Chain A
C-alpha cells in the first residue's frame, strides 16, 4: 500500500495517472494528476477540461491546470472519447490538491486502443522515474 502512488494505477512521465476498469465490454480510464504533480503545482485555482463527447489523444494536451503561480498542460495517458467530466472541479479546484486520486479526478475516457496501456508506467516504474529525475 502506497498512498502517495497507489499500486492499481497507470502513470505517465508527464505526471498523470489512469485507473482502468472494464465496463460494457470495453475499458474506461479515469484520469487525474499525481501526488508529485500536485506538490509541484501548489494550490490549484482553476482546471480546464474537455467536454463530454470530445476526443483526447494519448500524449497530447487535453486540458490545463492553473495554480497560483503558473499554468500547466495536462497530457492524456490514453486515446478515446470523454464519457464523463468531474464537473465539481469547476467550483472546487482544491479537490485536486486535497485528494488527487479520488475526488480530484478529472475525466473518464472510453479507451479506444487498450494496447496503449502497455506503454504506461506502473507505480514502481513511475517512482523509479521520479528518483531518476532527482526527485
Chain B
C-alpha cells in the first residue's frame, strides 16, 4: 500500500488505518467518527488529503487544453481563483470530478481524486492540445485540509496572509504557514468554511504537527476518511466511485451548474446537449429515512407501489441531523421533494422521503 508523508503521524495518533484505493489512510482516530464529525462542525477538523492528485497544465496552450477537458467555463477564471467541475467522456459520462485552480493565464492546476490519478493523467495526456505541458506533481505535493467554523481564527496566527480577505474558491500561491511556502485555498469538502493547504511533500509532517497544535487549541481534532464521508454526505457533495462514475452524467448528478453547454466546446458537450434536449430521465436524489433503518451503497430503492426504481449510491447516518440519509439515482418524476420511497435494507423495506438541497447547511457568519 502507498503511504502519504503523514503516515507516521497517523500511527502516532493511534489512527485505525485502512486501504483506500491502494493508499494506507486513517479511517478514524481513537475518539471515533462521530466526535471527529462534531469537531469539524463546531471547531476545526484537520484532514490528510496528500493522497489526492495535483496535475499542472502549463504553456501558451494550457487554457485551451483545460477547456477541452472540463465542462465549466475556463475563460471566467481569474488568477488566484478556482472552480469545481467535472471531466467527461464523449458519452457525457464522468471521468472524474475536480477543482481547477488558475495561477497564471498559462498555468492551471487540477486537483483530482486519489484513486483516479493514473486514469486522469492518461486521459489528459491523450487529449492534450498544442503548446501545453502536463505534469503530475502528486508525489511531491502535500495537501492538508483545515475545515470548520474556527478554521480561520486558528490558522491566522500561523500566516501573514489576511485570511478574512480570501473569498471562497480563492487561493494565494505565495503564502507561508509557519515559515514554509504553501498555497492556501479557501476550498474544502465538508460543507464548512475552511482551507486547503498545499505544500512541498517534505514539509507536510512539520506542517501537520503545527496545524494540529493550532486546531487542538481551538477545540479541533484530526479527522479520518470515515467522518470525511459523513461530512460530505450531509453537505450533499457527491463522491466519485459512489455517486459519480463513467456511466453517470453531470446533468443526472445534479451538477448542471458546472456544465456550460453554451460556452466553448469540451469533450462530452454534444452528448450532454442531446441529453438536455431529450430530457434527463434519472436524477441523483437525496432522501431521509422516515422509519428506523440505514441505507447503504448498493441497496435497492423502491417507489410507493413497491417497484424497484433505483439504487442507493451513498447512505448512512447524518450525525449533525440525527437522521439517516442517502443519495441514489431514481427516475426524474420521483426526484421531487416529499416523494415517498422505500429502501430495501437487507430484505426489510424501510420508508424514506425525497428531500432536495443539502441535508446540512452551515449558518451564515
Q: Which residues does A use to contact B, with CB under 8 Å?
A: 39, 42-43, 45-46, 64, 66, 68-71, 97
Contact = CB atoms under 8 A, between A and B. Distances in A.
Given A68-B230, A69-B27, A42 B32 contact: yes
Given A68-B226, A69-B226, A71-B346, A43 B32 contact: yes
B346 A68 contact: no
Interface in B25-47: 27-28, 32-34
How many of chain B's residues touch chain A, expressed as a range? 10 to 19
Interface in B1-43: 16, 27-28, 32-34
Contacts of A39: 16
Which 4 A-B pairs rank lowest in CB-CB distance, beginning with the nearest? A43-B34, A68-B33, A45-B317, A43-B32
B10 to A, nearest CB: 16
A97 B35 CA distance: 13
B316 A68 contact: yes
A42 B296 contact: no
Given A68-B230, A68-B317, A46 B32 contact: no
Nearest to B30: A39
Given A42-B226, A69-B226, A71-B294, A64 B34 contact: no
B292 interface: yes
A46 B292 contact: yes
Contact of B34 (A46, A66, A68, A71): A68
A70 B18 CA distance: 14
Given A42-B226, A43-B33, A43-B34, A70 B296 contact: yes
B292 A42 contact: no
Contacts of B33: 42-43, 68-69
22 contacts: A42-B16, A42-B27, A42-B32, A42-B226, A43-B33, A43-B34, A45-B294, A45-B324, A46-B294, A66-B294, A66-B317, A68-B33, A68-B226, A68-B230, A69-B27, A69-B33, A69-B226, A69-B316, A70-B296, A71-B296, A71-B346, A97-B32
Interface string B268-298: 0000000000000000000000001110100
Contacts of B230: 68
A112 to B, nearest CB: 26
A66 B345 CA distance: 11
A70 B229 CA distance: 12
Contacts of A97: 32
Contacts of A70: 296
